[in-house]
Structures are given as C-alpha cells and as structure tokens.
Structure 1
Amino acid sequence: MTHKARSFIATLQVNGCPVNTFDSMTRGQVVLESPLASPAHALDGASALGMLNCSDEDWQHGQDLGLITFERAAAPAPLLLYFRHSDEGYRLYIRSGPHFGQGVFVTEEGLVAVKPIEQKDPTLWSVIAAATGEHLDVITTETDEIDISLVSTDNPLGLQSLFPVGGYAMCHAAADRCTLRLAIEQRDVDWYRSA
C-alpha cells in the first residue's frame, strides 16, 4: 500500500472536547507552565494544542484565583489535522483555520504546539490503537472513530491539567499517555490536497 493510502485528515478529541490551538479557543495572552522544567517557568501557550472543558463557574473560579490569564472565545471549528504517512510514522500538518499549512512540533520545553515549517519537518509520531496497543492500520480499520494514543520517539503525548478549565498537550518521558478520539474526515489524501 502507498503512503497516500495510509494518509488521512482527521480531528482529535479528549473526553468529548475538541483539540485545538489555544489562540483559536481564547482571547488574550495564554500563559502555560513548562512541563519539563522544575521549578516550572511560564511559556507563551498561544500555539499549544489543548482543550477546554469547563463550565462558566469553573472559568470564573480559575480567573478569580489568577490561574487563567485569558478569556474564552466563541467555539472554533474543529481543527483538521493531516496525518501524512511515511516509512517512519506520521507527521501532522494543520489543514484548517489560521494555522493552515503549519506543522505539529514538540518544543524543547515539552509542549505540543503548532508552528510554521522552516528547516525542520514536524515531529514524527506513532499512532497507536488504544484497543490493541498496536500501530493503527487505517486501511484495515473500517470505523472512522477510533481511540488512539500518540507517541514520539518513545515519549507519549499526555495532557497537562490547566485547572480548572481544561488541559494542554505535552510530550516527554514522564508524561501519562492520553487517550484521544480520532475522527477521520477523509481517507487516502495526497500531500497537496486539503479537506
């Protein structure tokens, strides 16, 4: 089978909440804690991937405590990700919204964030089917919604809590593997095509 046959466009969710970039879901400066540094230091989290799953009361509580530095925006359209297959695994590219054409990278601080593609290809990922623990074979998978986890160079993608409003994606050796719901929108997608 060709790489094209194994490439697809999909969205991701965590516990029913869509994964998107924080600058698409919020207004104002997004400050997140570095997941790798101890003590943690503040990072610009605008382009980090994450999710918001809170009530209005939780949002107000987080702001009252000074834990949340930004405002919630209107819910954006789901973030479309192009999973481009290669012999080594998958690289993820953005196929919707203001970050269209950019890639998904693990930063030096351990954040999973979206950035323009320059001299380096986006981070390489293994897509693991949660039910089997094996690499996902999109060709033999008939359903379009599958629970998965993502692993990069043996480091799992995890979710750092952003109490009390949601969480943001991180990837490092000590991260607890996060189960994601993969919803395939389009299969057999060429590199140059969008949904």
Structure 2
Amino acid sequence: MNHKAHSFLATLYAADCPLNTFDSMTSGNVALVSPLTTPGYAVDGAATLGVLDCSDDDWTHGQEMGLVTFEKSSAALPLLLYFRHSEDGYRLYVRSGAHFGEGVFATTHGLVEVKPIKQQDPTAWRITQASSGNAFDLTTCEGDQVDIKLESKSGPWGRNALYPVGDYSVCHTNATGSTLKLVIQERSVDWLNPA
C-alpha cells in the first residue's frame, strides 16, 4: 500500500472549536479529572487535547466556583497534525506550536495527550466517517472537511466536559465516541516533509 497517498496534514475541531493542548490556550496549572475512576483523581492536563468554548461570564463563574484553576491566554488556534498512515492505522504527530515534533497518545489516565516520542510510537488510531461508519479513505474523500470518529486499542476518542468552559479529550473502553471535524490542509504528505 502507498502510505504516502493516505497520509496528510489536518486540523481537528470539536463543536466548531479548534482542538489544541491546554498549555497552548491557557496559563497556570491545568488539573483535569481522570475518567477511569469514580471519584476521579486529578492529573496534570497541560498537554491534554481539548477545546475552550465559553463566554467571559462562564469563565468568571467557573473560576469563582473553583472549577477552573487556570487563566485563558490568547485565542485558541487549531493544532496542525500530521496523520501518518501505517498498517496499524494513523499515528498523529504535531506539526505546529510549542509541541512541534511530538506525538498524540492515549494515556494510562484515560486522556488524549501530546507527548515527546521516546521508545514508543504514538497511539495508532482507526478513523471512520461519522455519517456512514465506513473506514476513512483519503484517496476517495471529496472536499477538505469531513466528520470523523477516532478509535484506538484503548477505546474510542471521546470528550469529557470541563464545565463551564469547554471539554477535554479522553480515550478508554467506556468512553462515548465523539464526532470531530477533520479539516485537511495538505494531501499525500511524506514522512520527511518538515511542514
């Protein structure tokens, strides 16, 4: 199979908000709740993928109630990702911002995080079209936007609410898979392309 023909650069959106790491959208400590236990335990969420979608009033309300422990920084930009096709599925690599060169991993805490690549390849994801449930195929995809779902061996890519300011990405066996909008930036991108 020609893996290059199936590899591409793209951004992801959840509910029309760009997906990025919390440390790219906020300042201060980002504490998130692990979705794997009840009650959940707090984990460092700085490198977790998520969205912020709220009014200033919601932000103030969340901070006053102690639900939000961090400050909003500049407007969130979409994170550019390289979707590298392989026999196991797609592995996602960051191609913009402070995490350039890192990979997207489903963690043992049940979160979807961006981390440096060491001995382990980034998580392999199976991509399906949200409307049909069929496997996503870049070579037959018309247009540059498509609603997708992602799933790894750990489970589906889902979203947990970060009330009242947005949500964060999770991946575990009991997660409810969520639909993400894939916006393709460039097709047939080779692994060595430094874009």
Task: Report the TM-score when normalising by structure 1.
Answer: 0.98
Q: Distance in 2 between matches of 1:41 and 1:194?
A: 38
CA deviation map 1:126-165 (0-9, x unaligned): 0110111011000000110000010002611000000000
Show the counterpart of 1:93: 93
Q: Distance in 1 between matches of 2:151 and 2:93?
A: 16
Q: Distance in 2 between matches of 1:154 and 1:168?
A: 17
**8 Å Cα contact 2:18-2:77 kept in structure 1:** no
| Partner secondary structure for residue 140 of structure 2 | coil
**8 Å Cα contact 2:58-2:165 kept in structure 1:** yes
CA deviation map 1:6-64 (0-9, x unaligned): 00000000111000000000000000001112221110000000000000010000000
The amino acid across from 1:158 in the alignment is: G
The amino acid across from 1:193 in the alignment is: N
**8 Å Cα contact 2:154-2:171 kept in structure 1:** no
Show the counterpart of 1:119: 119
Q: Distance in 2 between matches of 1:124 and 1:25?
A: 26
Q: Distance in 2 between matches of 1:66 and 1:12?
A: 29
Identity %: 57
Structure 1: give runs of 5+ residues left out of the alignment.
none
Number of residue equivalences: 195
Q: What is the correspondence of 1:23-42 to structure 2 with a 5 Å cutoff?
A: 23-42=23-42
1:58 pairs with 2:44: no
**8 Å Cα contact 1:148-1:182 kept in structure 2:** yes
Q: Distance in 2 between matches of 1:137 and 1:150?
A: 13
Task: Report the TM-score when normalising by structure 2.
Answer: 0.98
**8 Å Cα contact 1:37-1:109 kept in structure 2:** no
Show the counterpart of 2:21: 21
- RMSD, aligned α-carbons: 0.9
Q: Distance in 2 between matches of 1:173 and 1:76?
A: 29
Structure 2: give runs of 5+ residues left out of the alignment.
none
